[in-house]
Amino acid sequence: MKKIAISMLLILTMVVGILAGCTNSTPAPAPTKEADNNTTDVLVIGGGGAGLVASITAAENGAKVILVEKMPAVGGNTIISATGITASDTKLHEAAGRPFTKEEHFKKTMETSKDLADEKLVKLLVDSSNDAYEWLLTLGLKYKLDPKDAFWIIPEEGHYGALLVKAYQAEAAKYPNIDLRVETKATELVVENDKVVGAKVTGKDGKEQIIKAKSVILATGGLNNAPEMIAEFNPKYAGVNTEMTTPGATGDGIKMAQAIGAQLKDMEHFQMRPLSLNGYWFKEVIVNEEGKGGILVNKDAKRFVDETLKPLDLASEILKQQDKMAYVVIDSDVFATKDGAKMIDKAKGVKADTIEDLAKQLGLDPAALKATIDEYNAKNDAFGRKTFGKVATAPFYGAITKPSSHYTMGGVAINENAQVLDKDGNAIEGLYAAGEIVGGLYGAGRVAGNNTLDDIVFGKIAAKHAIGK
Ligand code: ADP
């Protein structure tokens, strides 16, 4: 079929060439097979949530799509999204009699952003959230309301991100007009006469090619796996670890857009998980709960911080310690909680009947750790901690923990059509962005679950505008 389509196209091109020859003495050369393969209506860069949604949307509207993904498989950080989607005024809310209204959704998103978010984009996100949720149902996904928080919509069962990406892949596979190329990395945007007309990509074979497109949609995610870029945009997080990201999140789209004069927004803001290891996030309650929480110590077995600080500050204090890490030390009361047990399990922590033995197993000085814990239990604190826990009931547990970046708030500025803006606020012709690469949507903080929502909302908006729908 494909061969026939290509031959038809060649014939058509020759006919056009001949007709053109009637008015022009030099006939245009027929395009090579490679040039034809590398010409498309829409080039989508990045195959996470936003890129897959954008590709599906463009394809279902009849456009020819090339989707390039630099990793061997699609999914990006969307596939590790653990919990659910945030949407307001859905049938689920109505049926459960537990409202989460558009107004509440807007207010929560703005407040979490510290009022830095672009109100127009947030309004669009919120107003489209029910449609986005309903669309997920058409893909066969099944959800329920979170028992605790009405803003959360979670899978009836299974892992949220994995199921989401599986459903997107299955939907994308229905469209022969989506040409998915994995292990294909976009490296540079191609601009002609102030319009983005494609991108340079490097494929599996290491050869550089140019893909020509009427529009390009950047969906390359954030920069959680680019610690050097994070440090550049916010030195407070210099040396941050990459425990909570997939490898592809290296800010490529931001760099490519920046290179052609795109405007960046809110680049200093990140979501940090101060306590994480091996791909898991551990709740700060382990060390900050009043009456119960344990402590953090550094390689000298000394406390160095008020453990009840806000996550962003706690992360930056840990990053000032040797090897940019700390040890969590808790007693059996914390271990008896879900979060305590999870941390020791996932971070491969150790257990001991005495503090001295725990120290030995962690490679810390036993006398120093004992002294630190005695001080803490006596509520002697040099760091301004107002509420105390305790590390008193054996057995004791300890584990390494590292701060890592979990979400990039900043990114390229877009308008309500998802068109990327230049430094003067004008749309760059031919260039769109959707997903975590976008800046301005969350200001200084993100409501959990809004991110997979924005993949859908802005992925669809970008694709439709790109093809004039
Ligand atoms: P979002 O939620 O915004 O879709 P994800 O992290 O889920 O973000 O997906 C982004 C995807 O983009 C990842 O799969 C990543 O590997 C891919 N990607 C990043 N940079 C490039 C690039 N230069 N070329 C192709 N794909 C890229």
244-263 residue pLDDT tens: 999 999 999 999 999 999 99
Q: What is the pLDDT of residue 148?
A: 92
Residue finishing a domain among 376, 402, 428 = 402
> Residues 145, 235: one domain?
yes
Q: What is the mean pLDDT of residues 340-369?
A: 97
> Residues 257, 281: one domain?
no
Residue finishing a domain among 402, 431, 450 = 402
Ligand 1 in reach of 436 Cβ (< 6 A)? yes
CATH number, domain with residue 365: 3.90.700.10
277-327 pLDDT per residue, tens: 998 999 999 999 998 999 999 999 999 999 999 999 999 999 999 999 999
| Ligand 1 atom at minimum distance from 436 CA | 3
Q: What is the mean pLDDT of residues 14-19?
A: 34
Enumerate residues 6+ apart whose C-beta is below 8 A from 57.
459, 460, 463, 464
Ligand 1 in reach of 68 Cβ (< 6 A)? yes
Kindly report the CA angle at 319 between 331 and 235, in degrees rounded to 5? 155
Is 351 inside a domain boundary?
Answer: yes
Cα–Cα dist 309/102, whole Å: 31
C-alpha distances (whole Å) from 403 to each of 233, 291, 461 are: 17, 24, 34
Is 197 inside a domain boundary?
Answer: yes
> Residues 190, 49: one domain?
yes
Ligand 1 in reach of 47 Cβ (< 6 A)? yes
Is 177 inside a domain boundary?
Answer: yes
Is 29 inside a domain boundary?
Answer: yes
Q: What is the mean pLDDT of residues 457-463?
A: 98
Is 19 inside a domain boundary?
Answer: yes
Q: Ligand 1 center to residue 240 CA distance, Å?
A: 20
Q: Convert 192-225 to b/e letters by CB count within 10 Å (16 or more is b).
A: eeeebbbbebbeeeeeebbbbbbbbbbbbbbbbb
Q: Which spans in 234-284 are helix H?
A: 252-259
Q: What is the pLDDT of residue 316?
A: 96
Is 424 inside a domain boundary?
Answer: yes
Q: Ligand 1 center to residue 221 CA distance, Å?
A: 5
Ligand 1 in reach of 161 Cβ (< 6 A)? no
> Residues 132, 23: one domain?
yes
Residue finishing a domain among 382, 402, 422 = 402
pLDDT of 3 higher than 60: no
Ligand 1 in reach of 465 Cβ (< 6 A)? no
> Residues 255, 382: one domain?
no
> Residues 292, 254: one domain?
no
Residue 311 in contact with residue 237, Cβ under 8 Å?
no
What's the mean pLDDT when you consider all of the chain? 93
pLDDT of 4 higher than 70: no
Ligand 1 in reach of 454 Cβ (< 6 A)? no
Q: Ligand 1 center to residue 245 CA distance, Å?
A: 11
Q: What is the pLDDT of residue 310?
A: 94
Local structure of 399: helix, strand or coil: strand
Q: What is the pLDDT of residue 33?
A: 65
Is 3 inside a domain boundary?
Answer: no
Q: What is the pLDDT of residue 30?
A: 56
Q: Ligand 1 center to residue 447 CA distance, Å?
A: 21
User: What total of structural domains would you count in the chain?
Assistant: 2
Q: Look at 296 and 17; give whichever has higher pLDDT.
A: 296
pLDDT of 350 higher than 60: yes
* Domain with 388 in it: 275-402
> Residues 321, 397: one domain?
yes
User: With bands split at pLDDT 50, 70 and 90, how would you rate the model's confidence at 31?
Assistant: low
pLDDT of 6 higher than 80: no
Residue 405 in contact with residue 270, Cβ under 8 Å?
yes
Q: Ligand 1 center to residue 46 CA distance, Å?
A: 4
> Residues 313, 256: one domain?
no
Q: Ligand 1 center to residue 34 CA distance, Å?
A: 25
Ligand 1 in reach of 76 Cβ (< 6 A)? yes
pTM of the model: 0.90
pLDDT of 17 higher than 50: no
Q: What is the mean pLDDT of residues 369-391?
A: 95
> Residues 17, 97: one domain?
yes
Q: pLDDT exceeding 70 applies to what percent of the chain?
A: 93
Q: What is the mean pLDDT of residues 135-144?
A: 98
Residue nearest to atom 3 of ligand 1 (CA): 435
Q: Ligand 1 center to residue 456 CA distance, Å?
A: 15
Q: What is the pLDDT of residue 16?
A: 35
Is 2 inside a domain boundary?
Answer: no
Ligand 1 in reach of 412 Cβ (< 6 A)? no
Q: Look at 434 and 24; give whichever has higher pLDDT.
A: 434
Q: What is the pLDDT of residue 375?
A: 95
Enumerate residues 6+ apart whose C-beta is below 8 A from 461.
124, 416, 417, 418, 434
- Closest to 49 (Cα-Cα) out of 452, 437, 458, 443: 452
User: With bands split at pLDDT 50, 70 and 90, how would you rate the model's confidence at 36?
Assistant: confident
> Residues 361, 411: one domain?
no
- Closest to 401 (Cα-Cα) out of 286, 246, 268: 286
Ligand 1 in reach of 221 Cβ (< 6 A)? yes
> Residues 398, 411: one domain?
no
pLDDT of 189 higher than 70: yes
User: With bands split at pLDDT 50, 70 and 90, how would you rate the model's confidence at 448?
Assistant: very high
> Residues 114, 246: one domain?
yes
Ligand 1 in reach of 411 Cβ (< 6 A)? no
Q: What is the mean pLDDT of residues 443-448?
A: 95
Ligand 1 in reach of 77 Cβ (< 6 A)? yes
Query: Which residue of 70, 187, 204, 437 sits with most ligand 1 atoms within 8 Å of its CB, as the best mutation to test the pocket?
Result: 70
